[in-house]
Structure 1
Amino acid sequence: MTPGSNIPLAVTRVTVDVTAPVRLDVSGLLLTADGKVRSDDDFVFYNQPSGPGVTHRAASAGSPDSITVDTGAVPDGIEKIVVTASPDAAGATFAGTEPTATVRSADDGSVLATFTPPRLGSETALVVVEVYRRAGAWKVRAVGQGYSNGLAAIATDFGVSVEEPAAPAQPVAPPAAPPVPAQAPPAGQWGAPAAPAAPPAPAAPPAFPPAPGKINLDKGRVSLQKNQTVSLVKGGKPLARSVRMGLGWEPAYGSRAIDLDASVIAYGPDRNMIDACYFGKLQILNGAIQHSGDNLTGEGSGDDESITVHMEGLPPEVTGLVFTVSSFNGQKFTQVAKAYCRLLDARTGEELVRFDLTGAEAKTGVLMCKFIRQFSGEWEMTALGEYVKSKTVRDLVKPAAQAL
């Protein structure tokens, strides 16, 4: 599994083994729909090895620490069980350590999935996976959310009372958004533009302390290279205002006019497409995303097409956005020069993030960048630069989902 991916559970009882080269403390927390435990009894660990439908097994010769979930015995008010881990040694981090979660049938031991969180370093605690309920069915999601201040902070973050108060949890590298109900795309989603609608009124954003080694917007404009990521956080707060994604290109020397089309595809937590905004549908999600209109030639300086995103107007079921460019007439990107995307403050025009394509392939589409809503609620932008075969937005839906 990869961060954010999920699988349906075909068994009622599932065990999550967590192994590492070092001794770990593994625990499980039973959470309600608001992401909190009902009481300290919902914290299952070595000193409290059982809870409603959830049990802890301490490591012994030949077997690792594990959490077993009997989904048939989990109370109705519990929406998910998160499995956490931290190094047993005081002050130890996950640097140089790769924990692996193995999801098994608790009855016959058969392996259902495995997950190794990537890029761990200064984290001292980790939300590894979650077993969650969705529309009456149970699934397992790979999370890999790191924290820099210990397992006690995770417990406190989820509402558990600890004897020694822990500092507020500081997410280090959250790769995926929490599961939320996804809405089916509206009928005629490839049709005419919807009527403009004002995005919902903004709410006060929470603060996100910067994590060690994590790039954010505090030092001004960020220039990304392929596969680099920036956290859309400035001054300890997530970027909540309206932003504009400008996309630009020029015909390569000797090439004729290039008719490229910029678009953005919105996805839910299961990589399900919710809607797409492009030249044939200039507004989606009640006006939270708006397209500037079609450019048929690519001539001239500046952005050729742009897409405005009202960050606070995005509905909660949207957890990923993939910005793409495709060639309607089948011209390949070897005929395109100076292609780029840049993120701007829609109100001031300040350039926040820029990504310039440095290579070209003889294909007709490119995934420029993606926005991912993190487990903590903040958004991250990652430069992609992945070339694909496509002429329309419809062709891009599957490869863009795979890039999330």
Structure 2
Amino acid sequence: MSPTVLPRGAAIDLPAAERWTVAACWNRHAQCEVDVVAFALRENGRVSRDEDFVFYGAAETPDGTVRLAARGPAEQAIVIDLTALPEAVRTVTIAAAIDGTVTFGDLGPVRLSAGPGDGGPAHAQATLDTGTTERTMLVAEVYRRGPRWRLRVVGQGYDFGLAGLARGFGVDVEE
């Protein structure tokens, strides 16, 4: 079965599965590194604690329900154990951040795929290719809606760096 192609802003129900993987890939750019990160958010859109921010320096939440899986210099993924996430977590927001002065306009398209398990066949995919001056971008969110989980392709970019994005989600960032 072919994956569902989602435009920016679209959302779909996720079939029941213990784990889901949301992967992002891009064309490698010699003058920057791209980091995929995740925020396990409460209903108020903020983390419960700083450890609910998953990034290269803290590759999983303390309970292991959200983790970063690096797959090389131009692909990273977030693996979410939906059955074990604490009830207080309503949304897992996935973002990409560019280190340095390169922007998403310079980088080019970010391709997303989401599938059950630890990287099996894609159930959904999207291409985010409208970046201009942004250095951080919300790429997707997995969220609870009633008893089900849904995936939304976001594609919202910001001109500020990762620290600004993390602060916006309630993370205490030391400079």
Question: Which residue is equivalent to 1:38?
Answer: 48
Question: Which residue is equivalent to 2:24?
Answer: 18
Is 1:59 the counterpart of 2:71? The answer is yes
Which protein, 1 or 2, shows the higher relative CO under an 8 Å CA cutoff with sep ≥ 6?
2
Q: TM-score, normalised by structure 2?
A: 0.87
Indicate the structure with greater strand content.
2
One-letter code of the match for 2:24?
V
C-alpha distance in structure 2 between counterparts of 1:86 and 1:24, whole Å: 6
C-alpha distance in structure 2 between counterparts of 1:162 and 1:41, whole Å: 11
* Greater Rg over alpha carbons, structure: 1
Is 1:27 the counterpart of 2:37? The answer is yes
One-letter code of the match for 1:153?
G
State the secondary structure of the residue aligned to 1:95: helix
Is 1:3 the counterpart of 2:8? The answer is yes
Give 1:93's match in structure 2, choosing from 86, 103, 106. Answer: 103
Gaps of 5+ in 1: 165-404
State the Cα distance separating 1:59 from its structure 2 match.
Answer: 3.0
Per-residue CA distance 1:214-264 (angstroms, 9 max, x = gap): xxxxxxxxxxxxxxxxxxxxxxxxxxxxxxxxxxxxxxxxxxxxxxxxxxx
Gaps of 5+ in 2: 1-5
C-alpha distance in structure 2 between counterparts of 1:20 and 1:161, whole Å: 29
Give 1:83's match in structure 2, choosing from 86, 94, 97. Answer: 94
Percent of paired sites with the same residue? 34
5 Å-filtered alignment, 1:4-403, equals 4-10=9-15, 11-22=17-28, 23-51=33-61, 52=63, 53-60=65-72, 64-88=75-99, 90-96=100-106, 97-107=108-118, 109-164=120-175
Q: TM-score, normalised by structure 1?
A: 0.39
Per-residue CA distance 1:157-187 (angstroms, 9 max, x = gap): 00011112xxxxxxxxxxxxxxxxxxxxxxx
State the Cα distance separating 1:116 from its structure 2 match.
Answer: 1.5
One-letter code of the match for 1:98?
P
Closer/same/farther in 2, CA of residues 73 and 151 from structure 1, 3 Å limit: same
C-alpha distance in structure 2 between counterparts of 1:128 and 1:87, whole Å: 13
One-letter code of the match for 1:147?
Y
Q: How many residue pairs get matched?
A: 162
Q: In angstroms, what is the RMSD of aligned CA positions?
A: 1.5
One-letter code of the match for 1:57?
A
Closer/same/farther in 2, CA of residues 57 and 107 from structure 1, 3 Å limit: closer
Given that 1:46 and 1:57 are in contact with CA atoms closer than 8 Å, whether structure 2 keeps it comes out as no
